[in-house]
């Protein structure tokens, strides 16, 4: 029941229609847009606002590193499965794009990356591989739990970004990028649920443990 | 910090060359105001604005270091190498070189030492080197191994700056030699890691082909 509610909330956070327009992340992946001020400069903001921006981008980059390695671990075990393998590959490819953009945001705003990036890689791979070894449904349950936490986290960040001035072009672009990534993560959540994540053994316990771990990781990466 | 004290600190910076990192410099800064005072600031005013005793001098040292870092960024030109950035930072020490040993001694003799048994506090000096290194890495677009690179550049810069205090003329060459050694060491480590990965892959292939894992 609780899981069903969470699924409905997740759907409510995502817009029901997505028009096919230029994605915000294209500004970071298209080399012809490299010199645009929104992509190449950082705003002159107060120390408190700078700290909000630094922490947000640090934890986002760490999260995308972990997500990449979770899918890498899942693919290592389930990559050859004809049904789930291509699915994991597709979601992993999207996370690779997210990480590419986050790396560019980190450089643009001169943000210190997390000290825990190697820990994120090892823990992500271990989580992905372990849940994949438990079965396809457990792997999907892991994806469901992680993407739920990340989706909520991006939504909270959008509220924090309201404190940043919109006068500099990088800030509205950043908000659009985070919205786009939030929608992508919630799409992954939908995919996981559609592929029977809720049939995983001890689904509630597994989801709680994975979600709890993600929340602890988010708090650690904000600081370190 | 109040606007007044920030303004006075900024005006005090050009006076450091002649008067050092002293309370006298802070006192004389009032004579450089757009509407200058008739007399330098009295000692009580310096204490009120910048703190008692050596605290005021430490405030001045920090202001000078922050200004030097700001100038690093402002005076940076496109495609500047790490060596050029660090040499420019060492060059900015030259006008106040004779006062720098005293400045570093002030930083290291903070009244709030981390451990009572330590005679000096190395943290402010290390923080200074880390800040210079961070700024230099951003200017030179040094993207590899974020923390390792910054730790290496911090150590190199600190060694070069200490060398500059005793032998200013040979400091740039010393800096170049340290950077070159660091580059050689980095390449040696990379090649060792590459060789280790080849060995690992070959053993993995041997184990797989032996059929032990089937």
User: How many Å apart are CA A189 and CA B5, to the nearest integer?
Assistant: 54
Whether residues B100 and B183 share a domain: the answer is yes
Give the total number of structural domains in chain B.
Answer: 2
Contacts of A110 in chain B (CB under 8 A): 138
Whether residues B83 and B44 share a domain: the answer is no
Whether residues B90 and B18 share a domain: the answer is no
Residue B135, pLDDT above cutoff 70: yes
Say which of A107, A110, A115 has its CB closest to residue B147.
Answer: A115
Whether residues B118 and B18 share a domain: the answer is no
Whether residues B14 and B71 share a domain: the answer is no
Say whether residue B78 is in contact with chain A using an 8 A CB cutoff: no
pLDDT of A165-204, one tens digit each?
A: 888 889 999 999 999 999 999 999 999 999 988 888 889 9
| B51 SS3 class | coil
| Cβ atoms < 10 Å from Cβ of A44 | 10
Report the run of H or E that residue A5 belongs to, with start and end.
Answer: helix A2-13
Size of interface A-B (CB pairs under 8 A): 5
> Smallest CA–CA separation between B101 and chain A, in Å?
31
Residue A188 labeled ligand binder: yes
Whether residues B62 and B126 share a domain: the answer is yes
| Cβ atoms < 10 Å from Cβ of B74 | 7
Residue A152 labeled ligand binder: no
pLDDT of B64-97, one tens digit each?
A: 999 999 999 888 888 888 999 999 999 999 999 9
Say whether residue A79 is in contact with chain B using an 8 A CB cutoff: no
Angle at A139 between CA A136 and CA A142, to 5 degrees: 150
Whether residues B134 and B199 share a domain: the answer is yes
pLDDT of B22-46, one tens digit each?
A: 999 999 998 888 887 788 888 999 9
Whether residues B11 and B105 share a domain: the answer is no
H-state helical runs in B51-108: 54-74, 82-91, 100-108
C-alpha A16 chain-centroid distance = 20
Q: Encode burial over A186-203: b for 16+ CB neighbours within 10 A, e otherwise.
A: bbbbebbbebebbebeeb
Q: Give the domain range for residue B2.
A: 1-52
The closest alpha carbon to A41, from A94, A137, A108, A107, belongs to: A108
Mutate to test the interface with B, among A110, A114, A116, A119 (most CBs of B within 10 A): A110
User: How many Å apart are CA B106 and CA B101, to the nearest integer?
Assistant: 9
Residue A95 labeled ligand binder: yes
Whether residues B88 and B136 share a domain: the answer is yes
**Which ipTM was obtained for this model?**
0.75
Whether residues B190 and B87 share a domain: the answer is yes
Say which of A110, A113, A115 has its CB closest to residue B138.
Answer: A110
Q: What are phi and psi of A96, to 5 degrees?
A: -65, -40
A166: buried, middle or exposed (CB in 10 Å: 19+, 13-18, 0-12)? exposed
Whether residues B75 and B42 share a domain: the answer is no
Whether residues B4 and B62 share a domain: the answer is no
- Percentage of chain A with pLDDT > 90? 68
């Amino acid at each position: 029941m609780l899981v069903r509610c969470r699924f409905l909330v997740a759907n409510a956070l995502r817009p029901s229609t997505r028009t096919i327009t230029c994605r915000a992340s294209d500004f970071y992946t298209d080399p012809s847009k490299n010199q645009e001020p929104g992509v190449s400069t950082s705003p002159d903001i107060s120390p408190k606002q700078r700290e909000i921006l630094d922490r947000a981008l640090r934890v986002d980059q760490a999260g995308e590193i972990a997500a990449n390695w979770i899918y890498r671990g899942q693919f290592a075990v389930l990559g050859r499965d004809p049904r789930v393998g291509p699915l994991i590959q597709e979601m992993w490819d999207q996370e690779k794009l997210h990480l590419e953009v986050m790396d560019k945001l980190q450089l643009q705003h001169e943000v210190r990356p997390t000290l825990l990036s190697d820990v994120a890689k090892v823990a992500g791979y271990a989580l992905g591989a372990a849940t994949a070894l438990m079965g396809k449904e457990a792997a999907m349950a892991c994806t469901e739990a992680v993407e739920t936490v990340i989706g909520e986290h991006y939504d909270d960040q959008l509220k924090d970004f309201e404190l940043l001035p919109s006068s500099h072009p990088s800030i509205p672009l950043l908000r659009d990028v985070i919205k786009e990534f939030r929608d992508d993560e919630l799409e992954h959540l939908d995919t996981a649920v559609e592929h029977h994540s809720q049939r995983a053994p001890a689904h509630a316990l597994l989801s709680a443990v994975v979600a709890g771990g993600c929340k602890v990781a988010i708090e650690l990466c904000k600081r370190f | 910090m109040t606007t007044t004290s920030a303004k006075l600190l900024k005006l005090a910076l050009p006076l450091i060359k002649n008067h050092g990192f002293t309370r006298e410099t802070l006192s004389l800064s009032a004579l450089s105001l757009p509407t200058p005072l008739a007399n330098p600031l009295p000692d009580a005013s310096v204490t009120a604005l910048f703190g008692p005793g050596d605290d005021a001098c430490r405030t001045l040292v920090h202001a000078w270091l922050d200004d030097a870092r700001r100038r690093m960024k402002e005076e940076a030109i496109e495609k500047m190498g790490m060596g050029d950035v660090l040499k420019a930072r060492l060059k900015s020490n030259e006008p106040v070189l004779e006062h720098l040993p005293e400045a570093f001694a002030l930083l290291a003799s903070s009244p709030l030492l981390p451990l009572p048994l330590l005679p000096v506090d190395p943290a402010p000096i290390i923080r200074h080197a880390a800040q210079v290194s961070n700024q230099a890495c951003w200017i030179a677009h040094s993207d590899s191994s974020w923390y390792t690179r910054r730790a290496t550049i911090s150590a190199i810069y600190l060694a070069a700056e200490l060398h500059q205090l005793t032998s200013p003329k040979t400091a740039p060459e010393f800096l170049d030699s340290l950077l070159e050694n660091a580059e050689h060491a980095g390449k040696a480590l990379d090649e060792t890691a590459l060789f280790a990965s080849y060995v690992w892959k070959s053993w993995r292939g041997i184990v797989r082909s032996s059929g032990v894992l089937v």
